[in-house]
Amino acid sequence: MAAQTILFDFTLDAGKTATSIQRQEVARIVRNELEHVFTQLELAYSMESMDNGYFSVLHENKETIITCRIFQQGLLTINVEYYLAAGKEPVLSLDTMRTMELILRQKLDSDRSKYLPPIKRGGYIDIYMTSSDERIIEYDIDTLVYEARSPFQKIQILHSKTLGNMLILDELQNIAESDLIYTETLMGRGIENYEGKEICILGGGDGALLYELLKEKPKHVVMLEIDELVMQACNKYLSSICGDVLEKRKTDQYEIIVGDCVDYMKKFIAEGRKFDYVFGDLTDIPISDAPIGECWDFIRTIFEHSFQLLKPDGKYLTHGNGTSCLESLQLFEEQLRLLKPKVKFTTTKAFVPSFMEEWLFYQVTFA
């Protein structure tokens, strides 16, 4: 159950909406057509402005609200909104929406028209998230599997019909059962040789990276994850991507340390501990105009400490962001070029199913 918002857009010749009389005629045509679908339609309010065009609010039984706006520049928008209770049929079917659009397009002699299926707002399950460059994505989520709030973040496991269970942290998709390609690209499977190597994972609370790395027979892996509750949720509901590695906190092959990774990195540096690989499986690159703020400071801190932990021939591997976020990726690479001692980097790309976009991954070594 949720509020349903249906959007119709029509592009008209601006010469047909330039005057008040012309806009009133467009409004009349729209209302006549709407009355074929909403037989008890009534006008609640209308406003005509020489500068801003025409606006009206109509309703059917005060339950379905329709707003109509005609812009002087030739754009017509119609928004239909109503509450759909569980088990009830929608007010408009997709076929009815399509028919309405086609008829109005013809009667208005519209150059271009578009309708969007209902946007579902305020439901128990949030099916909308954003891409890395902040485009809206609608998921086929049908079940809220798990929800809790840790001292650090909101944690959800949602089930998607096509992607399986998905880990959502603070309303952002992190990984799904469909996303083996993310982990394999991050670790460079088939390119990097982990056998007999010492590895440090920063973050990685879903357990997927640790699980896949252990298949490569490393000497030892230490994982630094701050959120115990994330690991408990993933162990129970995402075992298909993490196996049983989150069942224990320490074995001969690996150790999971629950705490702030920066604190433990400082401890390892003081002890003179070195790794062949350090993985940054932490925060995404911020979407910003300049590398300033708390997130960028954190990224620089991770860089500084990671390279102090690497052996001379070691490698730092991390995810970047969506490949469409060019400015943020450039800022990230500028920060890499500022590091001392100097580093060099390569990149790889992969389309990540649950992100619904292509992501960039970095492989960084000492220059």
State the Rg of the chain over Cα.
27
CA dist., res. 319 & res. 159, Å (int): 24
> Which of 115, 114, 102, 111 shows the shortest CA–CA distance to 14?
111
Q: What is the DSSP string of 184-211?
A: HHHHTTTTS--TT-EEEEEE-TTSHHHH
Give pTM, 2 decimals: 0.89
Give pLDDT tens digits for 20-78: 999 999 999 999 999 999 999 999 999 987 567 999 999 999 999 999 999 999 999 99
The CATH H-level superfamily of 130-174 is Spermidine synthase, tetramerisation domain (2.30.140.10)
Considering Cα of 338, then 344, then 349, then 354, what sign does the dihedral take? Answer: negative
Instruction: Show Cβ contacts of residue 330 under 8 Å, excluding neighbours closer than 6 positions.
Output: none
What contacts 24+ positions apart, CB below 8 Å, involve 141-147? 141/166, 145/237, 146/233, 146/236, 146/237
Q: How far apart are CA 224 and CA 246, in angstroms?
A: 13
Alpha helices per DSSP H over 215-260: 228-237, 239-242
Kind plus residue range of the DSSP H or E element containing 255: strand 254-258
- Looking at the chain, which residues constitute the CATH 3.30.160.110 domain(s)? 2-120
pLDDT reported for residue 87: 85
Assign a CATH topology to domain 176-366: Rossmann fold (3.40.50)
pLDDT mean by block of 10 residues, the chain; 367 residues: 93 92 95 95 88 90 95 95 91 94 96 92 88 94 96 97 97 96 98 98 98 98 98 98 97 98 98 98 86 93 97 97 95 96 97 98 97
Of the chain, the end-to-end C-alpha distance in Å amounts to 57
**Under a CB-based contact definition with an 8 Å cutoff, are residues 345 and 313 in contact?**
no
pLDDT of residue 50: 58
CATH of 2-120, one of 3.30.160.110, 3.40.50.1820, 3.30.70.270, 3.30.1460.30: 3.30.160.110
Q: Go through the chain and tell me how many residues it has.
A: 367
User: Quick one: tokens of 323?
Assistant: 């490949």
Give span(s): CATH 3.40.50.150, the chain.
176-366
Alpha helices, H only, 108-177: none
pLDDT in tens, 115-148: 998 999 987 888 999 999 999 999 999 999 999 9
The pLDDT assigned to 123 comes to: 79
- The reported pLDDT for the residue numbered 74 is 94
What is d(CA 62, CA 217) in angstroms, rounded to the nearest whole number?
Answer: 66
**Residues belonging to the active site:** 281
Helices (H) and strands (E) in the chain, counts: 9, 19
